[in-house]
Structure 1
């Protein structure tokens, strides 16, 4: 992972939906996609799989849209987020949470009742990562809107850039993220590694983010409630319904002129070894408490 480079803060350009996003989509979307529905796993395994998929996208130009869940409530910290003096292993344990640090940026969030998605795909190094970000968010937006949710993308002028040490993830939306009546429904984080791009994030089935305060060593600023499918579209607030909507949205957007079913992801023979390697790196205390 030493070849990775930091992605600039989101906010310098306005992500688009509709025709403009479709143009961007054609520039970054690979010809072939696969879809992976993962069983619930511990946080470290989930992050290692995403990191392995990013590596695979760079090595083989494969593109995988993955959906997954968590076996226990887990707080994930952003790659460059400061945790020292804010969180501790003792406080996390006492609150009943596990913790991981993501290979992507962003800020702390609690993974509990949600659908987590990840997108790992090749990205031409001549293209801005923002084009990929807008394309993925267009798929996400179409999916949640298909569930009857009045969701929209946050425009650039509505969301100034947020520092890694800023408020927790669902406290404030960044440009391009998905909100309902001003409240964040989908939080996303990104990382670019050479010719590959990773974006992953949470679609809230229910809002548990206030529980982050239980794991903090210092008082966190009060956060406004996040949006959730339980509040916006309660009959649609199940993991399987949301994942089906994401798969349908990806198929529609990635293959607009032909009816194509996105094939399931078939991992290569070396994929378990890739996951194990990333699990060892992401599982160290030097990584988790690096800042």
Structure 2
């Protein structure tokens, strides 16, 4: 096996972890794939003969790429990224255990991603890498260009916002279900006004790469546009719990083909993620509700 084949094999071993890091940083499956692909391009062009921990090196590259993408995104919109989010899963300070990382990544629901969107890029990176993937602060400090102490403060500030935004879980899921059920009923009945009543004016509908290949738009923004997309449709969608949060699923023959993940804030739907990637669907905990 030559060096390029060996690097490609090691990269594939890390791909799931890298995609998880990028997705928690960016909240978009398409952008996460772009970040992972950029990491591969940088790896293929770099001399890694002196790299002792290739997995850690790749994590750093994906984190840097993701932070650059967040900063570029922030510069394109008027409102600043700065606010709050749900309970973090705190890892260890030192070691990076791949199995533990996978468990941590899978424990993060879509509601957290919405709140992470309100954090500044450096805060989000510090929180995601340390609290969700157990990367030590001295390694994160090199990425954000600050001292380890200042980086610890970034993560601490983000964590306080996360914990301050944590809702009562059962009550929150019950509220989510009422809103999602109302959305599904309005969608099936083609009741445009009822759809508008449960959608946030700035709601965003996102589809993963498989959905885009099947004809869906990668992203639709705005209540009227999203309502128009769903009005008179979703007739076969069933209410479901997706990773413990209210959602819906299209499951012909009992097998999930498309999962709709809803994020509800202040009584309105602020985001809908349409997931059709078979590999991604196998990672979700989907319970169809009566």
Please give the TM-score of this superposition, normalised by the length of structure 1: 0.27
Q: Quick one: higher RCO (CA 8 Å, sep 6+), 1 or 2?
A: 1
Q: In terms of Rg, which structure is larger?
A: 2
Richer in strand (by share): 1
